[in-house]
Structure 1
Amino acid sequence: MYVVAALAGVALGVGAVYGGWIAFEGIRRDRRLRPGLVAAGLRLDRWERVVEKMDSEDPAERLASFTDLERYVREEPDAREDAIELTCTYLRKPFRFPVEDEDELVIRRAAQGLLTRCLRRPGILEHREELDLQDAVLVEPDFADCDLSGADFRDGVIVGGDFQGARFWRFANFDRVWFTGVTDFRAAAFPRFTSFAEAMFSGTTTFAGAEFEDRVDFADARVEKPDAAHSWPSPWQVWVASPVAQGRLVPREG
């Protein structure tokens, strides 16, 4: 009986030690996991604060949101696509041109500047997804020497756009865009699917040195100042029905 009791005591002691070891290991694992969970929570909290600032009615808060967003992306590179998408979403919001809200113009320039720094070679980010700026009003956007995987600018307004040396990889859609001011596509590289159908060119436009993987579409595109010093890609040229009319871009015969 004493032997049985002794063995039972040993078993209880071993069980207590084993249980204590399990509890200790559980605490150790919890300590290893907890920083990751806390860090994820902090990242989510920072992101939500950026979004909240971006939606603020206070112009100063909205402006600060893009400074915070750029800092966030530098520290969290995995968030790059989300940051670009969030910035494009902001730029797609309605904005009047000619400009009536100077405070909002400053904010939008900050947003455009973030895109430039993200996309310029070599940028702080590597953008692989579609750049969705459909309906956006962009004032003096700077995409010079930028890599744009897929770019959708349809139905937008581009004031003084600088695309010199830009590279469009998958597609470039500028259908029904109103280009005003000087628009520079010099030495830009365009993919197989490129369209400027029904676009309006109100200022001087140049495509000098631009390269096209396939034929570009300017169907029903119009030119407000046919006599300006434009440079159009071959075989497109301006056709004018009368001296006072807008020009239309048509392919040169032969």
Structure 2
Amino acid sequence: MVVLPVLAITGIAITALVWTLDPSSPGERIDLVKTALSIGAGTGGVAALVLASRRQWSAEQAHRLAERTSQITEHDAAERRITELYTKAAEQLGSDKHTVRLAALYALERLAQHNPEHRQTTVNLLCGYLRTPYTPPRETPSNVNGTGVHRPLVSSKARRMRPAKSAGRSAAPTKPSHREAVLERDVRLTAQRILAAHLRPDYGDAGSPTNPKFWPEVLEINLTGAHLLDFNLDDCRVRSATFTEATFVGVARFSRMKFTRANFDRSSFSGETDFTYSTFTGPASFNKAIFAAEVRFDESTFTHDTLFEGAIFNNALSFYDATFMMQALFIEATFKGMAAFGDTLFLSGALFERANFTQLCYQNDSTFISNGSFKGAQLGNQAFDPTRNQW
């Protein structure tokens, strides 16, 4: 492709030189031919360089395209593999074998640990599993009386031991439903531990997370209506936590936890509940929540409105050294045990209107920067007198 243009340029150069210079001697003609050939050779060299450069550019473009294609192919293959693993694990969570369900939980955890973009989705699935209906196991059913078990004593003639008709049989096995509930409890406790392990940053001295298992990509957890057993989120952090109508069986721990938004409306707590040193940087709602045992919010901080309207505290409640930066609403709340608000700071007021107290401790060392209202509240048989600001 280069030869013909070079020959043409050489011929044109010779013709032009002969025409313009009109050489008369053979030596001059030879010089003209040499000059023309030099021009042709130079032109050919330039053309060759241009073509070589063009080929190199084309090769580089082809290489880049191949690399991009390979990367896209690898990414698509990886995404398909992740989707397959995720789908398989999700299906295994529905297995009737508890060992398969446990394996599915660990598979999901491993998948999310190596693929940060799937962590929120994995947490959503864990929460979805915990939201499924569940009835905790009761005490192991009593065994049926067998050989050698005494019957109640009746008449003197009948005072003797009678073997059961099913002599030789062993005690009745544990009911399948009870055994299944026990195994399911193990699966649920594992799901709870996995969830907590990845919401706990473990901040170091520099203020950065030191826990390699911490998932900062997780922004919310939704455990609406979940049945939670000895739930522990101590030292965890989450932006949005929804526990509406959740049931907490056993101890519930949220000490030193940081919430941006928390909703515990209509939730129930059967055991001791610990929110000490916790921080709520957004709205916190406990409307109509029921606490059966002691509840502690000591040294907790609430930066937005905090709602306990209609909440029922069946045991002791303490807010020692707690700080409410916005309104604290305890309207129509019921306090059946000691309600302690020692050194509690209410910066924007607190409303205890129509609340019912059995024992109340707040007057001497709590501070109401803004107005506090106890209108219609009851302390035992005594009603609060707003005109005299006393019971």
Instruction: Using structure 2 for the length normalisation, give the TM-score.
Output: 0.52
Q: 1:109 — aligned with what?
A: 189
**Percent identical residues:** 26
Q: 1:213 — aligned with what?
A: 303
Mapped to 2, the partners of 1:188 and 1:113 lie a distance apart of 20
Match for residue 49 of structure 1 among 76, 81, 88 = 88
The root-mean-square deviation of aligned C-alpha atoms, in Å, is 2.9
- The count of aligned residue pairs is 225
Gaps of 5+ in 1: 4-17, 242-246
**Would the alpha carbon gap of residues 218 and 28 (structure 1) be closer, same or farther in structure 2, given more than 3 Å must change?**
closer
Q: Which moved more, 1:25-34 or 1:101-110?
A: 25-34
Following TM superposition, where does structure 1 have runs of at least 4 consecutive aligned residues deviating by more than 3 angstroms?
24-33, 97-100, 232-241, 247-254
Mapped to 1, the partners of 2:252 and 2:310 lie a distance apart of 21
Indicate conservation of the 8 Å contact 2:311/2:334, yes or no: no
| 1:96 partnered with 2:135 | yes
**Would the alpha carbon gap of residues 219 and 31 (structure 1) be closer, same or farther in structure 2, given more than 3 Å must change?**
closer
**Would the alpha carbon gap of residues 129 and 32 (structure 1) be closer, same or farther in structure 2, given more than 3 Å must change?**
closer
Q: Which amino acid aligns with 1:108?
A: R
Q: Secondary structure at the match of 1:72?
A: helix
Q: Please tell me whether Structure 1 or Structure 2 has the larger radius of gyration of its CA atoms.
A: 2
Q: 2:21 — aligned with what?
A: none
| 1:81 partnered with 2:120 | yes
Mapped to 2, the partners of 1:77 and 1:117 lie a distance apart of 15
Q: 1:168 — aligned with what?
A: 259
Q: Once the two structures are superposed, what CA deviation does each residue of 1:67-115 show, in whole Å capped at 9, x if it has no partner?
A: 1111111111111111111111111101124665111111111111111
Q: 1:14 — aligned with what?
A: none
Q: Once the two structures are superposed, what CA deviation does each residue of 1:128-179 show, in whole Å capped at 9, x if it has no partner?
A: 533111000111111111112011101111121110000001x111111101
Q: Secondary structure at the match of 2:198?
A: helix
Deviation at 1:230, TM superposition (A): 2.8
Deviation at 1:238, TM superposition (A): 5.5
Q: Which amino acid aligns with 1:80?
A: R
Q: 2:274 — aligned with what?
A: 184
Match for residue 230 of structure 1 among 317, 337, 347 = 317
Mapped to 2, the partners of 1:32 and 1:128 lie a distance apart of 27
Q: 1:8 — aligned with what?
A: none
Gaps of 5+ in 2: 5-54, 139-177, 203-210, 323-327, 338-354, 361-371, 375-388
Q: 2:342 — aligned with what?
A: none
Matches within 5 A, 1:21-170: 30-97=69-136, 101-122=181-202, 123=211, 124-159=214-249, 160-169=251-260
Deviation at 1:52, TM superposition (A): 1.4
Mapped to 1, the partners of 2:218 and 2:187 lie a distance apart of 25
Mapped to 2, the partners of 1:248 and 1:102 lie a distance apart of 39
Mapped to 2, the partners of 1:82 and 1:164 lie a distance apart of 26
Deviation at 1:117, TM superposition (A): 1.1
Indicate conservation of the 8 Å contact 1:153/1:174, yes or no: yes
Mapped to 2, the partners of 1:98 and 1:230 lie a distance apart of 29
Higher RCO (CA-CA < 8 Å; seq separation 6+):
1
Deviation at 1:54, TM superposition (A): 1.1
Mapped to 2, the partners of 1:118 and 1:128 lie a distance apart of 9
Mapped to 1, the partners of 2:269 and 2:244 lie a distance apart of 11
**Would the alpha carbon gap of residues 126 and 27 (structure 1) be closer, same or farther in structure 2, given more than 3 Å must change?**
closer
Q: Which amino acid aligns with 2:255?
A: Q
**Would the alpha carbon gap of residues 45 and 252 (structure 1) be closer, same or farther in structure 2, given more than 3 Å must change?**
same
Q: Which amino acid aligns with 2:194?
A: L
**Would the alpha carbon gap of residues 248 and 90 (structure 1) be closer, same or farther in structure 2, given more than 3 Å must change?**
farther
Deviation at 1:252, TM superposition (A): 6.6
Q: Which moved more, 1:187-196 or 1:32-41?
A: 32-41
Deviation at 1:35, TM superposition (A): 2.4
Indicate conservation of the 8 Å contact 2:136/2:182, yes or no: no
